[in-house]
Each structure stands twice: as structure tokens, then as C-alpha cells.
Structure 1
Amino acid sequence: MPRLRLVLGDQLSDSIASLADYADGDLILMAEVAEETGYVPHHKKKIAFLFSAMRHFASRLEGGGKAVRYVRLDDPDNSGSLKGEVVRALKAGSYEEVVVVEPGEYRLKAEFETWSDQLGLPVRIRRDDRFICTLDRFNAWAEGRKRLTMEYFYREMRRETGLLMVGDEPEGGQWNFDKDNRKALPEDVSLPDRAFVEPDEMTRDVLTLVGDRFADHFGDLEPFGYAVTEEDARAQLDGFITQGLPCFGDYQDALKQGEAFLFHSVLALYMNAGLLDPLEVCRKVETAYRQGHAPLNAVEGFIRQILGWREYARGIYWRFMPDYLERNALEAHRKLPDFYWTADTEMACVRDVVTTTRKHAYAHHIQRLMVTGNFALLAGIDPREVNAWYLAVYADAYEWVEAPNTHGMALFADGGLMATKPYAASGSYINKMSDHCKGCSYAVSKKNGPKACPLNYLYWNFLMENEELLRGNHRLSMIYKTLDRMSDEKREAVRGDSHRFFKRIGIEQ
């Protein structure tokens, strides 16, 4: 008896386990469904990227002789849900079981686990083996550890893969070159050109559909230039290695007004959707170092983002879900400001990142962590609202990778499971790493008053609001000693400025 094989929109890999034993008579099901486009108001570019990549992948499968049932969003019989489309396919044919690879979000996995009883036939949920570290391997590493420090996980992954290793020792004599990767961007540096992909007819059809159906969703739909095929994604990887990688290390933490990409690869959306294999990406980048095309600090920093952070975030997510997203260690309950959607704020750094996000469905990791993430942390925004925003607005966002980075790293909502301290920063950090402050309506040099940078007084207000929980953190001991020397008058000024600011942007509790 044949099998019905469901392939999700982020499983666009020839090697996906659900297709591994495909045989004649089997049917591959792919579907664009309203339920998946609407559980958060996804960026228009994100929807367009996934639908176009799905259609191209389905066409590739059909060209290889496989039977595909592809359901478009505008199909009048579209049920609107993955389960509904499975039911329709089962009614149209005879299959002994449904085969699917485990999804990247807990809500879907929990749903899939109920299907067998509901459908009356086996539903085989196969392991997603496109990651470098299996979940069993991560859990074995994590078991019994008091702290799940990413750095130590990363070192084990280096040893196991052999990436940037010389025998048993790390290339260059140290594991981590992060201290070399914190330079601000010089004014005269030349940024690489981005070779975006011209939309073909299939992508143009998707853009028309998305423009019609999702006009009220966040973000600019065009210009659209992301790769939607494996071949074009590989070309994007090659372009990054040639143009971006050599300077990526030095300037990976830098920010520049009006510049979305700098030297960043913008490859996460391709890896997360299955168009690029993460281990292959790491090996190609390592080869660039071995051949003398890129320095070690750039290559190590890039590989750490994939082999370290990406794999680690996935392990954290699945180890601690579903309770992980219920954590709110700092008891943050203010609502998300409207300017996260509109960019209508006088804070130049936040305005620029939201504008970038609206244009490209993309912002690099420091923009996410130290601008929009930092503001949400300092302002005490409810983690549920922040998580929903990050999941909605970025083309590379799936809950397995978005939630730990937002909930754990940016917001410290997990109470320190991932980070040893909150990544809180005043305006001085933004001033050091960017040119945002030069044209800002607020003065980064001012600590209090209506013209002061809000990040300055919000920083101290955050430390005061969370003093009971955070004072015992050894990494904040010097900061709290400084707070102890602050006069009562200064403390009241901080509280007053913060209260007035929250009231002005409509989030005061």
C-alpha cells in the first residue's frame, strides 16, 4: 500500500526524511494553508518567500518523477489547515499511512501526535535529521549540568565535526575569537553589493497572490529578491563567502543607519527553510579560511552562529517546551509599543531597525538583540507579545530558533537558563557601535530629562524594577554597586522620566 507524505514549508530539502524511501504509488502532499499564514501576522515577504520556495520545490520533485499533490492558497477547495488537506488527500486516494518529519514548532508537533487516532491510520513522525546535533545528543550533553552554557556545547560540536580543529586543539589556539569581532563600522568602509534574485514567473504569481490576500499584514512585499531555489541559495552562499565573509568578523556587531545587511550573510532563511544544509555551509566557509580567502576571526564567528547558537537554540527549545514560553522571570507585563509595527518613534536606533525589518523581513543579530530586544527588556514588555512580534516579522523565524533567542537571550524571561545575565544596555552601547545617535532627536549624552536618550534612564529603571531578582547575579555586582551610590534624588529622576516616557508611548501599567 502506498504512503501519503506530507512536506511542510520549511522542509524543502531533497534529503528530508519523509522522502527518504519514496516509492512508486506514494503521494507527496504540500499545501499553502490559511491556518499557517495567520496564527501570527507574518510579514508579507516571509509568506511570499515560503510560498514561492514551496512551489519551486514541488516543481523540482515533479520534474524528478515524483507524484505531488500541491494545494495553492487560492484553490477554492482549500480547507485552510494542514489536517484538512491531509483528510482531503486521504479521501482522494488509498494510503496505508501518513509520513511527516517532525515540525519546527511545538504546537504543530502536538497536533500531529493526535492525527493517528483522528484519521484512523498510522501517522509516522520522523526525526528531522537535517541538523548537525540530534536532540538525543543535545539532551545527553545537557543532562546533569547546572548551567547549559552555549560555549561548552559549541566546543563539543567542534570536536565532533572537526570544524576548525587541528587534531584535538582548536584552530589558532583558542575556541572563540569574539573579542576581535566588536568593531564599529568605519565611515569609509565599502559594503558588499547584494546580488538579489530577479523574481521569475512563478514568484511573480506568488507576489500577486500575497499582495491581494495579505494587504493588511506587516511589511513591504516588493522589491522582492530572495532566492527561492536551492541553486540560487547556493549562489547566495558563494556570494557571501566572496564578498561578505572577509570582513564579517570585524564588523558583525556594527550598526549603520539605513543599512540592513552590512557584511552579514542573510543565509538563515535558506537554512531554516531547507534550501541550504547547515553543515555544508560551515564546511564551505571553513574551506575559504583554509584557502586563505577569509581570516580566522570571521570564519570562527560565522561557524559559531550556526554550529553553536543555531543548534543550541534548537536543543533548548525542545528540551524545555512547552513550559519554556510560559516563563516570565522578570514579571514583565507592559504591552508592545505600536512603533514596533509603525516605526513611528523618535528613537533613531529603534526606528531604523523597525524600518529595516519592514522593508526586508530581516535585521541582523545585533539589531534584534541590542536594539529592539534591548528596548523590550528595559521597558518590561510582556514576553508573549515580543515573541509573537519576532515570529511574525522575520523571514527566517520559526519558533524553535526564534523563541530561545528572544525569550532567553533578549528578554531574560527564562531566568538565566541561556544567558548568565540580561543583555541590558544604555545608549552608550548604541553610540559606540553605530551612527544612529548622531541624527537622533534624543541626546545620548543626557541621562535625564525630556531630551535624554530613553535607553539611559530606562537602563537604571530596569535595574531598580528587577533589583530583588538580579542583585545576586555576580555579573551585575559592579553595576549594583554603582546603583547603591546613586542619590535618592537621582533615583526619583530615573523613575519619573521612565514613567513619563511609558505614558507618552502608551504602555504605562
Structure 2
Amino acid sequence: MVTRLVLVLGDQLSEDLSALRGADKTRDVVVMAEVRDEAAYVPHHPKKIAFLFSAMRKFAVRLRAAGWDVRYSRLDDPETGAGICAELLRRAEETGASEVLATQPGEWRLIEALKACPLPVTLLSDDRFLCSHAEFEAWADGRKALRMEYFYREMRRKTGLLMEGGDPVGGQWNFDHDNRKPAPGSVDFGGPKRFAPDEVTREVLDLVRDRFGGNFGDLDDFWFATDREQARRALAHWVEGGLPNFGDYQDAMLTGERFLWHGVISMYLNAGLLAPMEVCDVVERAWRDGKAPLNAAEGFIRQVIGWREYVRGIYFLEGPDYVTRNALGHDRDLPSMYWGGETGMQCMAEAVGQTRAEAYAHHIQRLMVTGNFALLAGVEARQVHEWYLAVYADAYEWVEAPNTIGMSQFADGGIIASKPYVSSGNYIHKMSDYCKGCAYSVTKKTGEGACPFNLLYWHFMDRHRDRFEGNPRMAQMYRTWDRMNADKRETVLAEAEDLLARLDAGGVV
């Protein structure tokens, strides 16, 4: 019998992976590898690398216990190749295998690399997701606008989650209007379940500290789950303590509170340690048992079967060039404050500082703080994309690129968002307490100490007027701008230009 290699990537740590289901453990050989090219194609946060290497090593042990022949390559093994294809060729020579079975990767970069590999590679669909590429293409076909809300309703009907017959429970599909409460005075949830590093993880931490210690991000206080059992415990911990208030405060931000009531399980879901229906079933059961309100359960389930599946569909529908799109023509370099450089903006300092410490920030910190500033300042979308891909433990291109290129930076020209997600400082003031400790005043529109968001908001609106003044969701803001007297508009634009010039010169903002 001919031996095949079965490739398992670092974000495919699921025993029901299509490549494993299609293989024969009596003759096929599983290949897993920690390779330089995957660890360094962007400067990944050290905690992200440590999480994946530790989880991979433990998954390899799990597969061996299930009877698989697993050939595992460690980064510090001198024989390990630089890339995935090099490792496949090495293992093929070692085992006599002449072909590879793999589940389709979640990045065009890797798909193209496998197709270019001298070995024949059969790519199977990644059916751990709830919506196949063909299903998404059929849904998208002929639609003028690919809005997530309508896709989400189809996914609710398909899965039966939070449904009563053909109708949504509670009489409506979406309870988002109940999920926008500003930050409360205190948080009564202690945060995500924390796990002390075991021997495997400690060994990985030493390796990562040695090889990637200079990357942006702290490696100390590593607490992530690194196997399926731990991930399931982390999920149960959050459902009991965090889910009840998750809905109300999912958009809130609070100084010193890095997690509030968020689940922080996306890294486990995206790496394959948890499955989407698994987590949604647990959340739905909590609502049905009276342990969580409907707006919390619906808000979470929408993120998983709605948004998560939708952005994956967009990524593969739009093709490999999606990450290069730059509809607004922005070309400014990413400011140093994103890499921990000095800033007087408390909101940016909080979001970036938390990212450095935890390899995590929640969706509003990403969208309306770091993303909002980059968009208003005209930072090149590709640089913003690569930053998010590097610094977050849950970031893989299929999920991160549409969130950044599309939702955050409007660089896809409106495929995902019907308008740019931009705001002045007032939104951050409403949803957080960040403005209290800031060097700038959120109430000042111009002059010494004026909030940079206030100046840059109107600068953005003015420079992109030709594109957006006809957008019905933005028309009111242009009417507000036009009602300002000419001198005030001139002052706003001049001060915004000064601020941008300071950024370009490497000054502190």
C-alpha cells in the first residue's frame, strides 16, 4: 500500500479534520511542523507563537495516542526545514510517500504554497466551518450588497439555533440595540480561565523567548489553554460567569479591565480546539436554562455563526488580492504608537498596552480605537492589516483581513461595510472611561489639547467628500460640517494637518 502524508497545520487542531477523516491510520503518516516561515511571515506576538506551538505539540501526542504515526518537527531541530513544503519533501523522502492529503488552509498564501509544492497535494474542504465556499457563493450570487445580517438569518435557519420553528425566538433576529451599554463602574467577573504552564508549555516558552523575544508583545504571565480539555473548561468558566453580562457590555471599555465579560475563546475556536456548533450549543443551553439573557446569547451566537462565517466567505469569495486593496488611497505609515511608542492618547495607550500584554483586545478596542485612528489618519490599509495579523492570538488571515481591510479600514470600497466606521472622540467617551486620564480633552474641538479624534474625523470627512457625501448614512454629518462657519472649518483642517505632519515626522501624538 502506498503511504500518504497527512498535513495538519497549527490552526487545524481538530480530530475530525477532513484530512484525518480521509486518511488511513494503518498506512498514512501525519506531518506537523513548527517552521520558521509560518512563525515569522509577520512579527507574531510571542504569546501567539507559544500558544500554537504548545497546542500543536499536545495535539500530536493526542493523535499518537489515537494510533496515528505522527512525524513532528520542532523549530529548534536543525533538520527542520524553513517552510511547510520543505518539511513535506523531507518526510516524503523519509517515508516513501508520494502524495499529500491536506485540509484547505485559511490563507491564500499557504494554499498557493501547497499548490506549488513538487509533491501532489490534495486539498479537502475545511468542513469545520458551517458554511461551505459553494454555499456562500450561492448566497452571494446576484446580490447588490453582501450584508452580514441577511446571511446571519440564513445561518440561524440552517442551524436551528435560537429558533422556534421558522421564527427567531423573542420575535426578532437581532438584539444588538440591547448590547451597547457604556462601561459600568466595576466588573464582577474575574476574567477568562487561566492555566498555569505545564512542562510542555514551559519548554515552548523558553524556545519562543529565545527565538522571538524581540517581537512586540510580552511573554510573561502566559495563561492560555493549550489543549482541548482546557479550552472546554475555559468555555464553561465564561458561560457561567461572563455570559450573563456579556450582551449588555460587549462594546464597553474600562481602564485597567482588559476582559470585562468577554469570553476570550476566539483563539481556541480559530485554532480548532473548540468547534463553532459546540460553543453555540453551550450558549443556547445557558439561555434556555435561564442562566443568561437572550440578548447575550444572541449577541454571541451572531458573532460565531453570523460574523465569523460571513468574513470567511468574503475572504475566499474575493480572492488573493483582497489584502492589497486600498480603495481610499491611504498611504501613511503606521505610527510608532502601535508598536508601543509614546502617545498622549489614553485610549490608544490602553488598547495597545493591553495588546502587548495579552495578545488580545476586544472588537470595539480594535474597531473604534486602533482601527478608527488608523482610518482617520490615512494609514495604508496593508500595514494596518499586517499589524492586526501579527499582534493578536486569534488572528489568521481568513478572519483578520476582512475585519481589517473591509470593516475597519473600508479599503475594499464597501463590500462589507455600508459606510466607514469612523467617529470623533465622543464615541470613545461614551463607551469608556479612557478620556478621564487623557492628555487631550474630548470636549475640545480645536486649539491646544483638542482630542485628535475630533480633528481627524472632520479631516477624513472633508478629504473624502466626493466619495461619501451621497451616502445616506453620512449625509447628516456633512450637513453638520457645512453649518460650521468657514473660519472654524479652516481651523479644524489646519490643526489636523499639523497633527498629521507631527505623525509623519515621528513626533508624539
Amino acid paired to 2:116: T
State the distance in 2 between where 1:189 and 1:397 align: 27
Structure 2 residue 173 is matched with structure 1 residue 175 = yes
Larger deviation, residues 343-352 vs 6-15:
343-352
TM-fit CA distance, 1:494: 1.4
Alignment of 1:225-374 (within 5 A): 225-374=223-372
Amino acid at match of 2:76: D
Map Cα deviations across residues 471-500 of structure 1 (whole Å, 9 max, x no partner).
111110111111111222112211111111
1:476 equivalent in structure 2: 474
Pick from 66, 69, 74: which aligns with 2:68? 66
Query: Deviation digits for residues 57-90 of structure 1, max 9, x if unmatched?
Result: 0011112221110000000111111111011101
Q: Which residue of 2 aligns with 1:132?
A: 130
Tell me, yes or no, if structure 1 residue 443 matches structure 2 residue 441: yes
1:377 equivalent to 2:375? Answer: yes
Question: Which of 454, 457, 462 matches 2:455?
Answer: 457
What residue in structure 1 maps to residue 199 of structure 2?
201
- Unpaired stretches in structure 2, ≥5 consecutive residues: none
Verify the 8 A CA contact 1:56 1:229 in the aligned structure 2: yes
User: 1:114, CA displacement in angstroms?
Assistant: 2.0
Code of the residue aligned with 2:115 in structure 1: it is: E
The range that moved more, 89-98 or 303-312, is 89-98
C-alpha distance in structure 1 between counterparts of 2:191 and 2:301, whole Å: 22
Is the 1:184–1:433 Cα contact (8 Å) retained in structure 2? Answer: yes
The residue that corresponds to 2:159 in the other structure is 161
Matched-pair contact (CA < 8 Å) for 1:40–1:388:
yes
Q: Give the partner amino acid of 1:88.
A: R
Q: 1:189 to 1:221 in 2, by over 3 A?
A: closer
Instruction: Give CA-to-partner distance per residue, 1:260-314, whole Å, 9 cap, x none.
Output: 1110000100010000001111111001101110000000000000111000000
**Deviation of residue 133 (structure 1)?**
0.8
Q: Distance in 2 between matches of 1:481 and 1:193?
A: 43
Which of 23, 26, 37 matches 1:24? 26
Q: How far apart are residue 507 of structure 1 and its match? A: 5.9
Contact 1:343 1:350 in 2 (8 A): no
Secondary structure at the aligned position of 1:293 is classed as: coil
Aligned to 2:57: 55
> Residue type of the partner of 1:12?
L
Distance in 1, Cα, partners of 2:252 & 2:472: 28
Residues 168, 99 of structure 1: CA spacing in aligned structure 2 closer, same or farther, 3 A cutoff? Answer: same
Match of 1:105 in 2: 107
The Cα offsets for residues 411-437 of structure 1, whole Å up to 9 and x where unpaired, read as 111111101111101100000000000
Q: Determine helix, strand or coil for the equivalent of 1:474.
A: coil
Q: Is the 8 A contact 1:227 1:236 kept in 2?
A: yes
Give the letter for the 1:355 counterpart. Answer: G
**Contact persistence 2:425–2:442 (CA under 8 A):** yes
**Contact 2:92–2:98, Cα closer than 8 Å, also in 1:** no
CA, structure 1 residues 467+354, in 2 after alignment: closer, same or farther (shift >3 Å)? same
Match of 2:93 in 1: 91
Residues 193 and 468 (structure 1), Cα distance of their counterparts in 2 relative to 1, 3 Å cut: closer
Q: What residue number does 1:399 align with?
A: 397
Contact kept? 2:193, 2:238, Cα under 8 Å: no
Cα distance, 1:25 vs structure 2: 2.1
Equivalenced residue count is 504
Report the secondary structure of 1:475's partner residue. coil
SS in 2 for 1:86: helix
Letter in 2 for 1:505: L
TM-score by length of 2: 0.98
TM-score, normalised to structure 1, is 0.98
Measured after TM superposition, the shift of residue 96 of structure 1 is 3.8
Match of 1:149 in 2: 147
Match for 2:212: what amino acid?
A: F
Secondary structure of the equivalent of 1:70? strand
Q: Distance in 1 between matches of 2:81 and 2:25?
A: 27
One-letter amino acid of the counterpart of residue 361, structure 1: A
Amino acid at match of 1:13: S
Aligned-residue identity in percent: 56
Amino acid corresponding to residue 24 of structure 1 in structure 2: T
Change (3 A) 1:385 1:184: same
Contact persistence 2:195–2:225 (CA under 8 A): yes
SS in 1 for 2:491: helix
Corresponding residue SS for 2:30: strand
| Distance in 2 between residues matched to 1:398 and 1:174, nearest whole Å | 32
CA contact (8 A) 1:343 1:355 kept: no
* Native 8 Å contact 1:32 1:51 kept in 2: yes
Aligned with residue 427 of structure 2, among 426, 429, 437: 429
CA distance in 2, matches of 1:160, 1:193: 32
SS of structure 2 residue aligned to 1:23: coil
- Bigger CA drift: 8-17 or 95-104? 95-104
Which residue type is aligned with residue 438 of structure 1? K
Give the C-alpha shift of residue 194 in structure 1.
Answer: 3.2
Aligned partner of 1:499 in structure 2 is 497
Distance in 2, matches of 1:203 and 1:323, equals 36
Deviations 1:29-63 (A, max 9, x none): 00000001111000000000000000000011112
Structure 2: distance between partners of 1:193 and 1:471: 43
Q: Kindly provide the amino acid, as one letter, of the partner of residue 262 in structure 1.
A: L
Q: How far apart, CA to CA, are the structure 2 residues paired with 1:255 and 1:314?
A: 27
Secondary structure of the structure 1 residue equivalent to 2:102:
strand
Distance in 2, Cα, partners of 1:312 & 1:222: 35
SS in 1 for 2:470: coil
Given that residues 334 and 507 in structure 1 are in contact (C-alpha distance below 8 angstroms), is that contact kept between their aligned partners in structure 2?
no
